[in-house]
């Protein structure tokens, strides 16, 4: 990513934080990151986080529920516990991690995704001093994704790590081992992604048994983690909280809460019918079951349909779009944040049907080196895949035990450090605004310098 884009994007993020701090003064919908934070505390205390009932804020009141997110959430947001600091309803560590993952999405789309040659059907690869295969839609789409206002807690924003992992799984689809690893980690952190797993399985099953076996092996590390939590408190605990709680989820989280957004949901057919019928018609779980049956039939049709690998890749994109829309419509509340899962697949779909190449653009020697460097990661091999997986697992283990030792030596450090008060408010607000302005000015200065040199 160019330095000027990076600095300008970083500046906009800090300026957005300026406005998010204001929103936090009136926002009371931070149940998602709060339950993850509290689950972390139980985990560091050597207790199964799935065996507790959590009281969470909603509107002007509270509601209770078990921890119903997959166990891999503890790994993909583990670094956030290094900053267990809260500013009103904003968990600083979670906000930092969200920015890192959204930056990661921008990087892999802009650098690797835009050079995904399976989609560059009109490119000419014989020209060595031109850049004929970088797609501008994905390149700038990635930058735009990073600059979107993710930092607000008005909606649940912790889903960008699963989106990051899903994007990696698709980009590395030629290598089933690493694709399975990334996909299952995403699926066992956010339950919507579980519906994406069958289409990837079909993709490899239609190639050969060797690819299918490697995909399954790649899924094993995440499945072993799930089994660990299930056996921790068998037969209840994890199974009930993670897989059965949603079937008993009430329509109204908190009947007496003011400013309850649920009643205004326009993305949930079950909830609209519930409201229009005066609380008589309840089809939430039946509708979800119907969606699963429809997707199952669709997958069976795809299994027997003859398609090339490139056509199947497009099918994966279309399936993800269809699944996300149906899942959102079938939920009891139809939260709008599910629709962010559509962003990357739509970029790929537009790229395929309406390619926008930077053909005949002269590239400098340093850019050629950059392209070659990223091609190493794009081409890859099985050894690189295994090494990547092992490194992620080892780093996760070291980080967890590091946090555990800190917890043993000084447990109070993790208990909701607060940044309240006028002084902290002014420091966070105007400090973020000032840093943002400086970053944007530096970005424009770097851009003018590069333009003058070229």
Range of the domain at 137: 3-453
pLDDT score recorded for residue 414:
81
How wide is the angle at C-alpha 347 spanned by C-alphas 343 and 349, nearest 5°?
A: 115
Give me the pLDDT at residue 151, please.
Answer: 47
Count Cβ neighbours within 10 Å for each residue of 178-216 and write b for 16 or more, e otherwise. Answer: bbbbbbbbbbbbbbbbbbbbbbbbbbbebeeeebbebbb
Per DSSP, the three-state class of 50 is helix
Count: domains in the chain: 1
pLDDT in tens, the chain (454 residues): 566 667 777 787 777 777 766 666 665 567 788 889 999 999 988 888 988 888 887 767 778 888 888 899 999 998 988 888 887 777 878 877 887 888 788 878 877 777 776 665 555 444 444 454 566 777 777 777 766 655 444 445 678 889 999 999 998 888 898 899 999 999 999 888 999 999 999 999 988 899 899 999 999 999 999 988 888 877 667 777 777 776 666 666 666 666 555 666 677 777 777 777 766 666 767 777 888 888 889 988 888 888 777 788 888 999 999 999 888 888 777 677 788 888 889 888 887 777 665 554 554 555 555 555 444 444 455 676 777 788 888 888 888 888 888 888 887 788 776 666 656 667 777 888 888 888 888 888 877 776 665 5
What integer pLDDT is reported at residue 183 of this predicted model?
95
The three-class DSSP label of residue 72 is coil
Tokens 């790229």, located at residue? 351
pLDDT at 198: 94
Angle between helices 3-24 and 92-107 (to 10 degrees): 150
Would you state the pLDDT for residue 311? 81
Secondary structure (3-state) at 85:
strand
Q: How far is Cα 82 from Cα 72, in angstroms, rounded to an integer?
A: 17
Helix axis angle for 3-24 and 136-147, nearest 10°, is 30
DSSP 33-48: HHHHHHHHHHHHTT--
Q: Residue 222: what pLDDT? A: 92
Strands ordered across the beta sheet of 85-87: 90-91, 85-87, 417-418
Give the model's pLDDT for residue 156: 55
């Amino acid at each position: 990513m160019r330095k000027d884009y990076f600095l300008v994007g970083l500046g906009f993020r800090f300026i957005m934080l300026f406005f998010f701090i204001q929103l936090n003064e009136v926002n009371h919908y931070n149940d998602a990151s709060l339950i993850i934070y509290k689950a972390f505390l139980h985990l560091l205390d050597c207790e199964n986080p799935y065996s507790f009932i959590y009281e969470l804020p909603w509107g002007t009141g509270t509601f209770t529920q078990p921890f119903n997110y997959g166990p891999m959430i503890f790994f993909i947001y583990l670094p956030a516990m290094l900053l267990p600091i809260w500013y009103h309803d904003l968990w600083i560590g979670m906000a930092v991690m969200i920015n890192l993952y959204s930056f990661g999405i921008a990087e892999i789309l802009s650098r690797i995704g835009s050079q995904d040659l399976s989609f560059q059907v009109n490119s000419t690869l014989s020209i060595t001093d031109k850049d004929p295969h970088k797609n501008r839609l994905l390149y700038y789409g990635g930058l735009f994704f990073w600059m979107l206002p993710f930092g607000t807690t008005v909606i649940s924003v912790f889903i960008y790590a699963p989106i990051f992992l899903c994007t990696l799984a698709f980009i590395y689809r030629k290598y089933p081992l690493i694709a399975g690893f990334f996909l299952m980690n995403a699926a066992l952190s956010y339950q919507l992604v579980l519906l994406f797993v069958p289409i990837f399985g079909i993709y490899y099953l239609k190639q050969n048994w060797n690819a299918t076996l490697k995909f399954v092996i790649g899924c094993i590390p995440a499945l072993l983690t799930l089994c660990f939590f299930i056996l921790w408190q068998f037969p209840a605990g994890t199974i009930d909280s993670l897989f059965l709680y949603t079937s008993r989820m009430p329509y109204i989280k908190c009947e007496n809460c003011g400013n309850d957004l649920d009643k205004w949901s326009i993305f949930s057919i079950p909830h609209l019918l519930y409201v229009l019928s005066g609380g008589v018609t309840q089809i939430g779980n039946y509708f979800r079951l119907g969606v699963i049956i429809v997707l199952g039939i669709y997958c069976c049709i795809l299994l027997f349909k003859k398609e090339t690998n490139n056509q199947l890749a497009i099918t994966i994109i279309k399936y993800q779009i269809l699944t996300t829309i149906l899942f959102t419509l079938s939920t009891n509340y139809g939260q709008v944040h599910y629709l962010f899962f559509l962003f990357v697949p739509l970029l790929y779909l537009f790229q395929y049907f309406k390619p926008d190449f930077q053909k005949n653009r002269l590239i400098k020697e340093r850019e050629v080196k950059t392209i070659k460097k990223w091609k190493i990661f794009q081409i890859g091999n099985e050894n690189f895949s295994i090494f990547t997986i092992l490194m992620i697992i080892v780093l996760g283990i070291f980080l967890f035990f590091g946090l555990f030792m800190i917890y043993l030596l000084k447990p109070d450090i993790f208990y909701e450090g607060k940044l309240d008060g006028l002084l902290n408010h002014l420091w966070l607000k105007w400090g973020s605004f000032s840093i943002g302005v400086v970053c944007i000015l530096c970005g424009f200065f770097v851009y003018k310098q590069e333009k003058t040199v070229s």
